[in-house]
Structures are given as structure tokens and as C-alpha cells.
């Protein structure tokens, strides 16, 4: 992996391996641990700009950052109303963040149906207005989007240029159309066309589950860096491999994640969340199907700790 810094409008990321914003997964503890493994940048889960304006407690909780987090603070906002985006970007809750990323790639029907996420790739004027509204906060702004909503409506290069012209300091391109969700081949050519269309940094996203995947993505697209998404859910230690850091003791990593998730979010959340994460971490292991079934049936924190102690990750 060819590591180098990334200049995001004067904000310098220490390397070009980023952790994607993952709804339901990239909470404060997971971001902290991935940052320690070497991620040059981590993002919060996507946060509703409108929810922030209405003082939603759940929305505010998504923006929590651990006191020991030493990396660049980046949050991801989503919405379709420029006024809500402007107010959210200028809010007290977003004030601690160095970078605001705008989600223009989420394929989920509810988000798409509200004119948010990937639906914004069908409305260039609104997408531009949202970027300009966020930029009015005085912070750096990035945009994450896909190649289009369908193979018949691919607009990657044009949308990339729109983002740059509207003031974006960086873009991330997920190399699939909205209809593909997270399946199918990554379109390297479309990411390369986005890279050729702009002068701001371009981060490539999609299909990174090992170091070879990351290398190929960079080689085929000419992108400035990579963003790891589901690969980090299954193997967060992939971050260490890509950044050349010592691999963690996996069992100790999972145990610590449980410790800190329990301390921060409480027993109920920690049990449900860490059963799910531990099950992800065993994917591909011999007998992993039966092991995941046992993990997901743990009904107490002590039982989960015991399972972790006797599981190979």
C-alpha cells in the first residue's frame, strides 16, 4: 500500500487509508480503535441535519467523540434541505469537527425516497446548494457519492466536478450505482473518470477486504486514497495491515471493544452490538456458522466475555 498524506483544504490527513461512515457501526469506540490501528481519517455514522436542528438526543449521541481520540474529527451529515444543512453545519454539536462529509450515496429506500443520499445525484442544483450551505460554516467539506442511481444514469465525472465547483475539498466515490447496493463489481473506470475531472483529492471506495483489493483499487483508478467500509466490519485489523502498523492481538481487541462499549453505552446496547461485531469477526473461520449462532444467542455480558475468551478471531 502506497501511503502518503492527504491535503483536504489545508487539513492534513496523516495517511490515505480512511474508515468509512457506517450506519449502526462506526460509533465512538469503533472509530477510536480504528484510529489507533492507523486509519488516517474516521467518520461518524451518518447524522440527520434536520435531526440536529430539532435537538434530537439520538442524533447528538452519534456525534460523541472519546476524550482520547487524537485523530482528525470528521462527521457525516445527510439531508435534502440546504437551510437545515446550513444550520446543522454551524451548530454547537458539529463545532468540534474539523471536516463535514455530506452523504450523497446512501441507497436505502427510506433515505432515497426523502430525496436524500443517492437521490441527490438526480438533482445537481440541490446537491450544489447543500455543499455551499455546509461550506458557509467555515469548515472543510467533503462529499461521498456513487457512480449514479442506475447503469442508465451514471454521472460520476459530472457530479465530481459539481462537488468541486460548489466548494467541496475532497470527494469519495463508491464505485457502484445505487441499484447495486453493496453487491457486484466495482467500476474502476468511473472512479478514474472522477479523478480526471477534478483537482481535489479523490478517495476510492468499494470492495476492499484485503491489501490486494486496496492496491488494485488505487492502481486501476489513480485515486489518492482508499476508504474501507464492510472490510473493516469483518476485519478491523485490516486497517493496521494497510497502514503498516503492528497487527493487534485480536482477542484482546474484541475484549477491549466490549469493555469500552459497555462503559460508554451501557449493558443493553453493548450486548446486542458486540454480539453482532464478534459474529462478523469470525466470518470465514472453520465452523464459523455454528460459532456465530452461539455468539448471537449469548444473553448476558458475562456469557459474552466467556465466549470471546474461547473464540479464535
Q: Tell me which residues are annotated as active site.
A: 106
CB 51 within 8 A of CB 76: no
Q: Residue 82: which of 47, 45, 49, 122 has the closest Cα? A: 49
Question: How many CB atoms are located within 10 Å of the residue 43 CB?
Answer: 27
Q: Residue 119: which of 165, 155, 75, 170 has the closest Cα? A: 155
User: Alpha-carbon distance 151 to 131, whole Å?
Assistant: 25
User: Alpha-carbon distance 157 to 143, whole Å?
Assistant: 13
> Can you give 111-147 as a three-state secondary structure string?
HHHCCCHHHHHHCHHHHHHHHHHHHCCCCEEEEEEEE
User: Alpha-carbon distance 226 to 57, whole Å?
Assistant: 32
User: Alpha-carbon distance 137 to 100, whole Å?
Assistant: 10
Q: Residue 174: which of 109, 101, 229 has the closest Cα? A: 229
56: exposed, middle or buried (C-beta count within 10 Å: 0-12, 13-18, 19+)?
Answer: middle
Q: Residue 201: which of 164, 174, 239, 166 has the closest Cα? A: 164
Question: How many CB atoms are located within 10 Å of the residue 290 CB?
Answer: 9
Amino acid at each position: 500500500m502506497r501511503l502518503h498524506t492527504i491535503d483536504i483544504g489545508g487539513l492534513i490527513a496523516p495517511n490515505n487509508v480512511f474508515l468509512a461512515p457506517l450506519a449502526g457501526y462506526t460509533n465512538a469506540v469503533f472509530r477510536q480503535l480504528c484510529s489507533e490501528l492507523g486509519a488516517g481519517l474516521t467518520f461518524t455514522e451518518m447524522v440527520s441535519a434536520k435531526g440536529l436542528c430539532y435537538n434530537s438526543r439520538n442524533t447528538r449521541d452519534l456525534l460523541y467523540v472519546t476524550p482520547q481520540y487524537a485523530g482528525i474529527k470528521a462527521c457525516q451529515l445527510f439531508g435534502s434541505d440546504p437551510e437545515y444543512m446550513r444550520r446543522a453545519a454551524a451548530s454547537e454539536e458539529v463545532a468540534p469537527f474539523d471536516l463535514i462529509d455530506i452523504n450523497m450515496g446512501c441507497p436505502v429506500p427510506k433515505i432515497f425516497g426523502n430525496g436524500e443520499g443517492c437521490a441527490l445525484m438526480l438533482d445537481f442544483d440541490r446537491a450544489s446548494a447543500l455543499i455551499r450551505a455546509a461550506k458557509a460554516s467555515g469548515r472543510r467539506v467533503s462529499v461521498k457519492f456513487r457512480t449514479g442511481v442506475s447503469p442508465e444514469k451514471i454521472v460520476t465525472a459530472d457530479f465530481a466536478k459539481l462537488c468541486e465547483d460548489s466548494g467541496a475539498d475532497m470527494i469519495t466515490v463508491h464505485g457502484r450505482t445505487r441499484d447495486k447496493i453493496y453487491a457486484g463489481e466495482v467500476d474502476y473506470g468511473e472512479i478514474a473518470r472522477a479523478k480526471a475531472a477534478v483537482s481535489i483529492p479523490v478517495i476510492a471506495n468499494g470492495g476492499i477486504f484485503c491489501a490486494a483489493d486496496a492496491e488494485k483499487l488505487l492502481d486501476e483508478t489513480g485515486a489518492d486514497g482508499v476508504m474501507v467500509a464492510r472490510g473493516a466490519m469483518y476485519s478491523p485489523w485490516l486497517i493496521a495491515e494497510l497502514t503498516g502498523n503492528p497487527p493487534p492481538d485480536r482477542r484482546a481487541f474484541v475484549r477491549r471493544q466490549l469493555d469500552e462499549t459497555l462503559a460508554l453505552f451501557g449493558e443493553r446496547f453493548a450486548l446486542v452490538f458486540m454480539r453482532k461485531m464478534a459474529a462478523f469477526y469470525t466470518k470465514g473461520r472453520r465452523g464459523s456458522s455454528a460459532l456465530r449462532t452461539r455468539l448471537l444467542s449469548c444473553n448476558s455480558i458475562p456469557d459474552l466475555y466467556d465466549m470471546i475468551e474461547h473464540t479464535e478471531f
